[in-house]
Amino acid sequence: MGNRLSKIYTRTGDDGTTSIGDKNRILKNHPRLEVLGTIDELNSAIGVILAQKPSTTSINICLEAIQQELFNLGGELCPPYYTVITAEKIEHLEKQLDEWNNTLPPLKEFIMPGGNLKSASCHLARTICRRAERACVTLLQSEPFNTEILRYLNRLSDLLFVAARLLAKESQSEETLWKHERK
């Protein structure tokens, strides 16, 4: 492949613009860049989970694959556009989600993010994923793209929620239930 990133700084973005796949320059606060930046942040948050070495091998394998898919998803949102996120990828997330969720006790109340560091990190990644989904909705209002990305991010946030519960269970951490005040 050669040295694609032989020089890290170019100074071309010093004016508040950046280049995306087709070499056109756009402002760094463009909705497309908000999506791409949030996906990058999500990928980094998943990296933090993986760096904590969750002992559940299926979580490691799944999150490592998701990191690759998130990089591909970012590529899909840059010109020249191509489709990476498909219904099959969403079905794969759903299958994994169902498999993990079937090992957990049913929820009777909302749970508070936490449990342990790994579980809390999953909850943080989940909230970043939700923000990425909202940023995609904003982008979709002005520019069309593959709407399977919205479904993928929606399902991914669900998967991260279940992974957080699984990691809490694995370490025998108690889930803290929401103590609502209802009259």
- Buried b vs exposed e over 146-175: b needs ≥16 C-beta within 10 Å? bebbbbbbbbbbbbbbbbbbbbbbbeebeb
- DSSP class of residue 54 equals -
67 belongs to a structural domain: yes
Give the amino acid at 2.
G
pLDDT of 112-148, one tens digit each? 788 889 999 999 999 999 999 999 999 999 999 999 9
pLDDT of 99 = 96
50 belongs to a structural domain: yes
**Cut 0.85: pTM above it:** yes
The pLDDT mean for the chain works out to 88
Asked whether residue 109 carries a pLDDT value surpassing 70, the answer given is yes
Alpha-helix runs per DSSP H in 3-84: 31-51, 57-76
CATH code of 131's domain? 1.20.1200.10
141 belongs to a structural domain: yes
How far CA 30 is from CA of 65, 88, 142, in Å, comes to 28, 30, 11
4 belongs to a structural domain: no
- DSSP class of residue 26 equals E
Asked whether residue 103 carries a pLDDT value surpassing 90, the answer given is yes
Give the amino acid at 118.
K
Asked whether residue 78 carries a pLDDT value surpassing 90, the answer given is no
Instruction: Report the chain's terminal Cα–Cα distance, integer Å.
Output: 64
For tokens 């025998």, the residue is: 172
pLDDT of 168-179, one tens digit each? 888 777 776 667
Across the strands, what pairs with 25? 19
pLDDT of 18 = 77
Q: How many CB atoms lie within 10 A of CB 19?
A: 13
Total domains in the fold of the chain = 1
81 belongs to a structural domain: yes
31 belongs to a structural domain: no
* Total H helices, total E strands in the chain: 5, 2
2 belongs to a structural domain: no
C-alpha to C-alpha distance for 4 and 19, rounded to whole angstroms: 15
Enclosing domain of residue 129: 38-103+111-169
- DSSP class of residue 19 equals E
5 belongs to a structural domain: no
- DSSP class of residue 113 equals S
pLDDT of 9-23, one tens digit each? 777 677 777 788 777
Higher pLDDT, 39 or 56: 39
